Structure 1
Amino acid sequence: MFVTDHPKLAYRYVLALTGALLLSYLAVAISLPVVSIYVVNVFHLSSASGGLSVGISFLSTILTRGHAGISADRFGGKICMQRGLILYAIAGLICLIASLPQLSVAGGYAVLIAGRLLLGLGESLTMVGMTSWAIGLMGHARSGKVMSLVGMGMYGAFAVGGPLGLALLDHVGFAGLMGVCTVLPLLGLIAIYRLPPVHPQAGQSESFWQIIGRIWRAGAAVGLQGVGFAALGAFFPLYFLSHGWSYAGLGLTFFGVGFVLVRLLCGHLPDQIGGMRVAIVSLTVEACGQYLLWLAPGPGLALFGALLTGLGCSMVFPAMGAEVVKQVPPHLRGTAIGGFVAFQDLAYGATGPVVGLLADHSSYSSVFLIGGLAATLGLWIAAVSRHRLVSQAPL
C-alpha cells in the first residue's frame, strides 16, 4: 500500500509528524529566553556572552542545513528526523550538565555553548527530515499543505515557549528546565516510531550549491519576507516605547493572530492556485503592513500594521517552498528544502544586528522602512519568477 494513495491516512501521519516537530521546537523555544538570563545572572558574564549563547544555535542551524538536506536524501526523512530528535535530547542533557556546581564558570559556559551548537544541528536534521518525510507521504502535489503544517508546528511552539520557559525557570530552575528540554524530543521520537518511512530514491546527485542555483529566487523571496518579521519581533516594543505609546507588548500578538488565521484558512492555496500567485499577494500585504508601521501616527494604526505583516508573512514560506519542491526531482528534495530554509534562517539571524545599527543612527520606525523595502524586493523577485515560469510553459 502506498500512503499517497490514501490521502486521509497520509494526512493523519503528517499531523503526527507535526506534533513531534512542535515538541522538538518547544525544546528550542522554552530555552530561548532563559539561556541568556542564566549566563548573565548565574555565571555573571556579560550580555554579549549571553547573546552568544542564544545566537550560536541559530548559527549552527544555518551552517548545517545543507548537511541535513543531504542526509534526508541519502537515508530518508524518517532516519534524518530520528537522528535530529536524539541530538535534541543529547543537547538538552549537555546544557543540564553545564549547571552542575562542580564546574567552573568558564567550564560551565563552554559546556553550555557545546550543547547549544548541538541543538542547532538537531534542529536542522529534525525540521528538514520531517518536511522531506511528510512530502513523501503526502505527495508533491500537496507540498504546500505540508509546508503550512511545518510552519504551524514551529511558530506554535514559539508562541507558547517563551512564557512557558520563564515559568519553568521560576518553578524548577535551569537544570529542571533543561531536563524538560531533554524529555520533549524523546516524546516526539516515541510518537513517530511506528510511522511508515518513505525510502530514499535513486538518482543522479548534485552538489548543494548546484541546487542552490536552481532555487535561489524562491529562497531570496522567503529570506526577504523574513526581514519584516525579524524587525517586528526585535524592535516593536522599543518602537512603541520611543513614541510613548501604550500596548507595546501587543505587536507579536497582532502579528500572530494574522499569521495563524491565514495559515488555517489558506494553507491549501499554494497547491490549488500555485505558490507564486500566493507569494505575490502575500508579499504585497506584508509590504503594506511594514510601510504602515513606518508611517503610523498612532498606536492603533501601528498595531494594524503588525496585523497586516502577520497576514502577509504567513503564506510566503509554504508558497515558495511548494515551488522549490517542484523544481527538483524527489531524490534531491531534502537538499533543496535545507537550502531553501537556510535563506530564512539567514534573514532572521542578520536582520537584528543590521537594522539595529540603523535604529541607533536614525529611529526605530526606520527599521520598518527596511522591512517594507525588503518585502517589495521579494515581491519583485516573485513576480519575475512567475513571469519566467509562464513564458517557459508549453503552449
Structure 2
Amino acid sequence: MSAIVHPDLAYRHVLVLTGALFLSYLAVAMSLPAVSLYVVNDLNLSNAYGGLAVGIAFLSTIVTRGQAGAFTDKLGGKLVMQRGLVLYAIAGLICLLAGLPQLPVAGRYAVLIAGRLLLGLGESFAMVAMVGWAIGLMGHGRSGQVLSLVGMGMYGAFAAGGPLGLALLDHIGFSGLMMVCTALPLVGLIGIHWLPAVALQAGQREPFWRIIGRIWRAGAAVGLQGVGFAALGAFFALYVMSHGWPYAGLGLTFFGVGFVGMRLLWGHLPDRIGGTRVAAVSLAVEACGQYLLWLAPGPELALVGALLTGLGCSMVFPSMGSEVVKQVPPHLRGTAVGGFAAFQDLAYGATGPVVGVLADYSGYSSVFLIGGLAATLGVWLALGVRRSMAQPQQA
C-alpha cells in the first residue's frame, strides 16, 4: 500500500527511517573493533585473520549494492529495508554462535565469517532501500536533504559505535555484544513497521552497467572524496604519534564535528542551488584540509586539517547523490543509488591497504598528499557532471 502524506509528516517519517538506519549501523560500528579483538585474543589467530573478518563485511556490501537497488525498484523500499534489518539480526545470531566454546577454532572462525558476509548483505539492503523509500516519501526535489540525513545516521553511528562496542565487550563479552547487535536492528524494524510505503514506479528495466554508465562521473567524484576520509581514519593517529605530537585521538573528533555541523546547517544546499556546485566547493575544501595535514608543522594545524576534511567530505555524497537521482527515471532510482554508493564503499575498502604501502616507503604524511590529489581530481569530475547535465538542457 502507498500513501500521499503532508511534507511535514513525510519529514517526520524520514526521521524515523534515519533512526532505524542509525541503529542498524550502530550494530555494524560496535562490532568493528570487537571482531578483530575476538579473532586475535580469543581465537589466537593472526592480525591478518582479524582484518579479513572485519573487511569481508564491506566486500559483501560492495558486491551486493546493485542487487539491493534492483530489489528496491522491483519490490519497494519498505519491504527491502525490512528484509535488510532481518538479515542484520540473523547475522548477529550467527556471529553469536561463533562465540560457542564447544566449536573448534576453525569452526568458530568460519561461522564468524558467514555472519559477517550476511551482515554486509543486510547493510546493503537496508541502506539502499531506505534511500529509495525516503526519497519516495519526501519527493524528488528534496533528495539532497534525504541523503544528508542518511549520512548523519551512518556517520553518527560510526562515531558512537566504536567506543560503545569496546565498552560492551569489556562488560558482557563477545557473545553479549552480539546479542545487542542482534536486538538493535529489530528495534528499528518495529519502528518502521507503521510507516507508509510508496507506490512502485512502472517502467522498462535497464542493465546495471548501463545505469553505471550514466552515473559514473558522480560516483567517481564521491569515491575520490572517500579517499581523504579513509586516509584520515586509518593514519591520523599514527601520523601524529610518529611526530611525537599530542592529540592523536582527536582527529576523527574534529572530522566528525565538521561533518555533522555542515550537514545540520547546510544540508538543504544541494536542493536549493544544485548538487554539482556544492560538491565542487566541498571537494576543494577537503583538498585544502588534506594538503594542510600533509604540510602541518604541528598538531594544532593538523587538527584544523582534520576539521576542514570533515567540512569538505560532508556534503559530497548528498550533493552528487541528488544529481544521480536526477539522471535516472524513478523506476531505476534504487539501482542507481546502489551503484552510486558502491563507489564510496570501494574507496573506503581500497584506500587503507593502498596508501598503507605508500606510508611504509614515504612516511605517513604522504597519505594525505594522496587524499588531497584525489579530492582535487574530484573537483574536476564534479564540474564534469555539471557540464554533462547542461548539454541536454541546452539541446
Shift of 1:109: 0.3
The answer (yes or no) to whether the contact 1:20–1:192 under 8 Å persists in 2 is: yes
User: TM-score, length-normalised on structure 2?
Assistant: 0.99
Give matches, 1:191-202, under 5 Å: 191-202=191-202
Q: State which drifts further: 347-356 or 196-205.
A: 196-205
Query: Is 1:336 equivalent to 2:336 in the alignment?
Result: yes
The aligned residue for residue 161 of structure 1 is 161
Deviation for aligned residue 1:101: 1.1
CA distance in 2, matches of 1:42, 1:250: 29
Structure 2 gap segments, 5+ residues each: none
Deviations 1:271-313 (A, max 9, x none): 0000001001100100000001001111111110000000000
Structure 1 residue 207 and structure 2 residue 234: aligned? no
1 CA distance for matches of 2:255 and 2:185? 28
Deviations 1:85-108 (A, max 9, x none): 000000000000010111000000
How much has 1:385 moved relative to structure 2? 1.9
* Residue in 2 that maps onto 1:127: 127
* Moved >6 Å (runs of 4+): none
For residue 373 of structure 1, report the CA deviation from its aligned partner: 0.3
List gaps (5 residues or longer) in structure 1.
Answer: none
Distance 1:287 1:362 in 2: 20
Looking at structure 1, the residues matched to 4 and 371 of structure 2 have their Cα atoms a distance apart, in angstroms, of 39
Q: Conserved in 2, the CA contact under 8 Å of 1:228 and 1:368?
A: yes
How far off its partner does 1:202 sit? Answer: 1.2
Q: Which amino acid aligns with 2:177?
A: L
* Other-structure match for 1:30: 30
Return the alpha-carbon distance in structure 2 between the equivalents of residues 388 and 194 of structure 1: 41
TM-score when normalising by structure 1: 0.99
List aligned pairs for 1:142-291, cutoff 5 A.
142-291=142-291
Q: CA-to-partner distance for each residue in 1:127-184, whole Å, 9 max, x for gaps?
A: 0010000000001100000000000000010010000000000111100000000000
1:317 match: 317
Structure 1: how far apart are the matches of 2:8 and 2:72? 24
Contact 2:3 2:197 in 1 (8 A): no
1:19 counterpart letter in structure 2: G
Number of aligned residue pairs: give it.
395
CA apart distance, 1:383: 1.2
Task: Using the TM superposition, name which of 295-304 and 230-239 deviates more.
Answer: 295-304
Q: Indicate the residue corresponding to 2:302 in structure 1.
A: 302
Amino acid of the structure 1 residue aligned with 2:27: A
- How far residue 2 of structure 1 moved from its aligned partner, in angstroms, is 7.7
The structural deviation recorded for 1:112 is 0.3
Name the Cα RMSD after superposition: 1.1
8 Å contact kept, 1:3–1:9: no
**Cα gap change, 1:3/1:315 in structure 2, threshold over 3 Å: closer, same or farther?**
farther
Q: Check conservation: 1:135, 1:142, Cα contact below 8 A.
A: yes
- Give the 5 Å matches for 1:101-120: 101-120=101-120
Write out per-residue CA displacement over residues 46-81 of structure 1, whole angstroms, 9 at most, x where no aligned residue: 000000000000000001001100010010000110
Contact 1:152 1:260 in 2 (8 A): yes
